[in-house]
Amino acid sequence: MNSITQNNQIDNKVSTSIKSFFKKYRISTALRLSNAYKSKGIPVISIFEYLFCMIFTNRSMYMNMLMGTNQAGFKKDTVYRFLNSVHINWIRFTTWLSTQIINETIIGLTSDKRVNVLIVDDSLFERSSSKKVELLAKVYDHAKKTYKYGFRLLTLGWSDGNTFIPVNGCLLSTENQKNRINEAIPVDKRSAGYLRRNLAQTKATAVALELIKTAKKAMIPASYVLFDTWFCSPSSLIAIKEMGYDVIAMAKKTSKMHYLYNGIMQPLTEIYKQNRKRRGRSRYLLSVEVSIEKDGKSIPARIVFVRNRNNRKDYLALITTDMNLNEDEIIRIYGKRWDIEVFFKVCKSYLMLSKECNSLSYDAMTAHTAIVFTRYMMLALENRRSSDLRTMGEIFYYIQDEMSDITLIQAFHLLMQVFIDTIADKLSLSSEQLDQLLNAFMAAIPKELKERLPKCA
């Protein structure tokens, strides 16, 4: 009976968290703004909440129908009509919701000096068990070095270094018709479904720029856009710079991509050979200033060559369009790109990304992806609340102000007094022995601290 009670308590806690999340961030408003309206008597928010909670109940809709435990109040056809709707703009939905979460909650927990970034990356959305999926394509799996049936889930996310929030995404098929197994079904050209099908058959770099434009229009606060080598091309760097963002990316070591250096257009490998490298254990090997030129446009950039930790004889190249950043800051900020890798891992391992949805419709898979994004947003907020003391409210600021009145030297003096009292009590040392021990300790501390100690005596 104890285990049953505990499980009920956990279920009640999860249910309370979900209801609080839906109410605070106005999920029903986000659905309405995304053109999600009920066609019959069931409210759209009820269907969305039912699908959202599916992962937390550890039951599929099929099992609920089979076991007779379905208490949703509607049938499976209602769910299918919602998922297959061509009118709902899911990119607008996730973008609007992420903007509310970032501006209303997370921004208030960080200082104005914190560097916020947008991160672009893609991951395999596998559908190997079926060959009749709409817009199904052969996609290269970089992890296993082989082609698989599925899509590329191109995702744009936001991070402040602690919390990652997915902003929007697109399930990419391929622009090459030879690699598409199935074509798109005909839909109304005025609908959101028609636009997302066209987007799915567009080049990935062009889609990424569209996702960034959508985030820019939503006024999501960010200073930099981070991405890996696959997106790093002169045209992309210039286009993002024109939007008002700076870029920090991993540059490609290829002979096909050139930068203007010392008046000559040359690839990274040649630039690296021409310069003397920093010796010792420096965080970077080389830093050079170049110009990025494409179609008559030119912008300055800095390239930082970093030693590859997995292969000491190899190097990696980071490029940025912000000339005011030093090399250490470039490396530190680019480290935030790892947040999106964690996001993909959590979505696939725990939130059933691509495994929960067996539909053949491209609209249903897009809706499923948006629901998984929303689940991650809620979990990211819960994690931030449990790990960030500042979410405890106003009491934190009273404690923080009181602690700020104690200086480092005063704290050191208090610790030394406690240390001496403890030794005198536990070891029963004489005053002469205590003086000798204290003098030996004072002789061993750093010179800078020793010079400041007499000032507080």
Question: What pLDDT is recorded for position 14?
Answer: 62
* Two tokens, residue 124: 């395999």
Co-location of 231 and 273 in the same domain: yes
pLDDT band at residue 132 under the 50/70/90 scheme: very high
Question: 69 vs 145, which has greater pLDDT?
Answer: 145
Mean pLDDT over the full length of the chain: 85
Give the three-class secondary structure for 40.
coil
The label of the residue with tokens 């509310």 reads: 100
Residues 385 and 410 in one domain: no
**DSSP-derived 3-state class of residue 307:** strand
Instruction: Give me the DSSP letters along 384-416.
Output: HHHH-GGGG-HHHHHHHHHHHTS-HHHHHHHHH
Nearest alpha carbon to residue 24 among 90, 124, 105: 105
Domain for residue 121, yes or no?
Answer: yes
Are both 204 and 228 inside the same structural domain? no
Total number of domains in the chain: 3
Task: State the DSSP H helix or E strand holding residue 436, giving kind and residue range, or none if neither.
Answer: helix 431-444
The Cα-based distances of 120 to 294, 328, 398 in angstroms read 22, 22, 39
Q: What are phi and psi of 357, to 5 degrees?
A: -100, 115
What are the backbone dihedrals phi and psi of residue 155, each rounded to the nearest 5 degrees, phi first?
-125, 140
Question: Do 73 and 8 have their domain in common?
Answer: yes
Helix (H) or strand (E) holding 93: helix 90-101
My answer on whether 62 and 177 are in the same domain is: yes
pLDDT in tens, 96-128: 999 999 999 999 888 888 899 999 999 999 998
Find out whether 319 and 232 touch, Cβ atoms under 8 Å: yes
Say whether both 59 and 34 belong to one domain: yes
- Kindly state whether residues 283 and 140 are assigned to the same domain: no
CA 2 to chain centre: 39
Check whether 274 has a pLDDT greater than 60. Answer: yes
Instruction: Tell me if 343 is assigned to some domain.
Output: no
211 token code pair: 């996702």
- Number of Cβ within a 10 Å radius of residue 225: 25
Question: Is the CA virtual torsion 103, 109, 110, 115 positive or negative?
Answer: negative
In a shared domain, residues 152 and 204:
yes
In-domain check, residue 126: yes
- Last-in-domain residue among 288, 307, 337: 337
| CA gap 370, 349 in Å, rounded | 17
pLDDT band at 68 (very low <50, low <70, confident <90, very high): low
Q: 369 in a domain, yes or no?
A: yes
Both tokens of residue 389?
């003391």
Same domain, 54 and 161: yes
Asked whether residue 280 is assigned to any structural domain, the reply reads: yes
Q: Domain range for residue 228? A: 224-337
Give yes or no for residue 412 having a pLDDT over 70.
no
Query: What local confidence, expressed as pLDDT, does residue 403 receive?
Result: 36
| 176-213 pLDDT per residue, tens | 899 899 999 999 999 999 999 999 999 999 999 999 99
Distant-in-sequence, close-in-space partners of 213: CB < 8 Å, separation ≥ 6? 243
CATH number of the CATH domain containing 268: 3.90.350.10
Same domain? 194 vs 236: no
Whether residue 400 is contained in a domain is answered as no
Among 314, 337, 360, the domain boundary falls at: 337
Residue 279's pLDDT is 79
Do 216 and 174 belong together in one domain? yes
Residue 344 confidence (pLDDT):
95
From residue 407, how far is each of 402, 446, 456, 457 by CA, in Å? Answer: 11, 18, 10, 13
The residue among 101 and 146 whose pLDDT is bigger is 101
295 Cβ contact list (under 8 Å, min separation 6): 235
132/228 same-domain check: no
Residue 284 lies in a domain: yes
pLDDT at 248: 97
Whether 342 is covered by a domain: the verdict is no
Is 388 exposed, middle or buried (CB count within 10 Å of its CB: 0-12, 13-18, 19+)? Answer: middle
Query: What is the Cα 339 distance to its own chain's centre?
Result: 5
